[in-house]
Amino acid sequence: MNDLAIAYVTCDKYDHVWEEWYDAFMKHWDLWSIPKYFCGEEKVCPFDDFTQIEHEPVEAEHWTAKLRAQIEQIPEDYIFVWVDDQIQQKNISAEFESLYKWMVKNDADALRFMSRGSASRYIKEPVIDGVYKLTDGSSYRVSFSPNIYKKSFLLEVLLVDQSPWACELGSVGKFTDRNIYARHIDGWVINKIVQ
């Protein structure tokens, strides 16, 4: 799993989900050698095995600028972006590891691990078992569901200063030169905070 990092992305006002997220992570995650970064704000990271990358608190409309500044400090070339309210429900480590290797081998730009249905549109035939490529005109070409990004592509996605929702919703028809894929594993995480 060389050159892959986990970025747990959060803000201070969501500290009430940190313990539940971490307990589930410890219970269901097996890939301990992957470097882990806590991309929060000013509150101290409560996880001993994560490296904290602080940032001053920002309003939601500046979320991408905050995350970009933090991602620039991560040396690995692939980043698994895991937003704070996505609480793991089951172990997907073996499948995750296999798909990460597939992603690198096939020079994919992003591979999301969806836990439920999506408004995204896919090319009909899977590229491999259960993995579909998004169409160029799909909604949500950018997603902050748990998602492995090639770091260079993630930094491109985060160039415009906006909220995570605006970034996702505004991605229709963008990044058409990129190879963006999705794998659905129903219920592997649940969303604890609905915006």
d(CA 2, CA 4): 6
d(CA 177, CA 169): 18
C-alpha count within 13 angstroms, C-beta hemisphere, residue 106: 18
- At 70, the amino acid letter reads Q
d(CA 170, CA 126): 25
Cβ neighbourhood burial of 194 (10 Å; 0-12, 13-18, 19+): exposed
Six-digit token string for 184: 């659905």
pLDDT at 121: 86
pLDDT at 195: 44
Q: What is the mean pLDDT of each run of 10 residues along the chain (195 residues)?
A: 94 96 97 96 97 96 98 98 96 96 96 88 86 93 95 97 95 94 94 64
The reported pTM is 0.94
The tokens 């549109």 sit on which residue?
121
pLDDT at 194: 53
pLDDT at 191: 85
Taking each continuous run of H as one helix and of E as one strand, the counts in the chain are 5, 10
Which of 142, 157, 140 lies closest to 71, judged by CA? Answer: 157
Could you say which DSSP state residue 142 is in? S
Domains of the chain and CATH, by start: 4-191 (3.90.550.10)
d(CA 54, CA 40): 6
Strands 36-39 and 4-9: parallel
CA 23 to chain centre: 19
pLDDT at 127: 87
